[in-house]
């Protein structure tokens, strides 16, 4: 089983899209194993987006992600990273498929609603950055027999 980090960014929270976004992942069959709402600190934002440091959009990105609350959650499932990224849609919302979160709810790359880890390795690293081990729960769902082979 893989785990991936999902963040509903400030634009998603401010637009009241938490429920519809979370529902997409649950309907897909991914299991939530940790979730919290928080104001992202400058320190956490800089650690999370460190790969972009020095790029022209880095400081505006830090200002944006710290501007309002976010909802962060860890998802678990087989090939969770790819399943989540397909559910989210292309980074540029105008290129995202209809039926994806970005394809249905977003217009611009700078307000694309959701972050999703881009690899299983980054998923594990990002979850460790955003969650303490005690905030993650392992459990069996009765419905998994109807989702997983």
Q: Give the span between the Cα atoms of 34 and 138, in whole angstroms.
A: 9
Q: Is there a contact between 45 and 100 (Cβ–Cβ < 8 Å)?
A: no
Phi then psi for 89, rounded to 5 degrees?
100, 175
Residue 31 confidence (pLDDT):
98
Position 58 scores a pLDDT of 95
Q: What are the tokens at 84?
A: 């989540």
Domain that holds residue 8: 2-38+71-147
Decide if 63 is inside a domain. Answer: no
The number of beta carbons lying within 10 Å of the beta carbon of residue 10 is: 19
Taking only the tens place, the pLDDT of each residue in 12-52 is 999 999 999 999 999 999 999 999 999 999 999 999 999 99
Token pair, residue 15, equals 């637009």
Tokens standing for residue 63: 């200002």
**pLDDT, tens digit, for every residue of 113-145?**
999 999 999 999 999 999 999 999 999 999 999
User: What CATH number should be reported for the domain holding residue 77?
Assistant: 3.30.70.141
Number of domains in the chain: 1
Burial of 79 (0-12, 13-18, 19+ CB in 10 A): middle
Within the chain, where are the H helices? 10-14, 18-28, 42-48, 58-65, 80-88, 101-105, 120-130, 144-147
Q: What pLDDT is stored for residue 6 in this prediction?
A: 98
Which candidate in 39, 48, 52, 115 is catalytic? 115
51 within domain boundaries: no
Token reading at 32: 């939530």
Residue 57 lies in a domain: no
Confidence (pLDDT) at 97: 97
The pLDDT of residue 129: 98
Q: Is residue 48 annotated as part of the catalytic site, yes or no?
A: no
Residue 118 contacts residue 84 (beta carbons within 8 Å): no
Alpha-carbon torsion angle 54, 38, 11, 47, nearest 10: 10
Percentage, residues of the chain above pLDDT 70: 100
| pTM for this entry | 0.95
Kindly state whether residue 64 falls inside one of the protein's structural domains: no
């Amino acid at each position: 089983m893989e785990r991936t980090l999902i963040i509903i960014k400030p634009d998603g929270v401010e637009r009241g899209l938490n429920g519809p976004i979370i529902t997409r992942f649950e309907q897909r069959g991914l299991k939530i194993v940790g979730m919290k709402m928080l104001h992202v600190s400058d320190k956490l934002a800089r650690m999370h987006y460190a790969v972009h440091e020095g790029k022209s959009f880095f400081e505006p990105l830090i200002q944006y992600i710290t501007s309002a609350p976010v909802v962060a959650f860890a998802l678990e499932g087989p090939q969770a990273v790819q399943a989540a990224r397909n559910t989210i849609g292309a980074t540029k919302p105008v290129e995202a498929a209809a039926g994806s979160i970005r394809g249905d709810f977003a217009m611009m790359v700078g307000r694309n609603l959701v972050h999703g880890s881009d690899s299983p390795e980054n998923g594990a690293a990002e979850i460790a950055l955003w969650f303490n081990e005690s905030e993650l729960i392992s459990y069996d769902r009765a419905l998994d027999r109807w989702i997983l082979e």
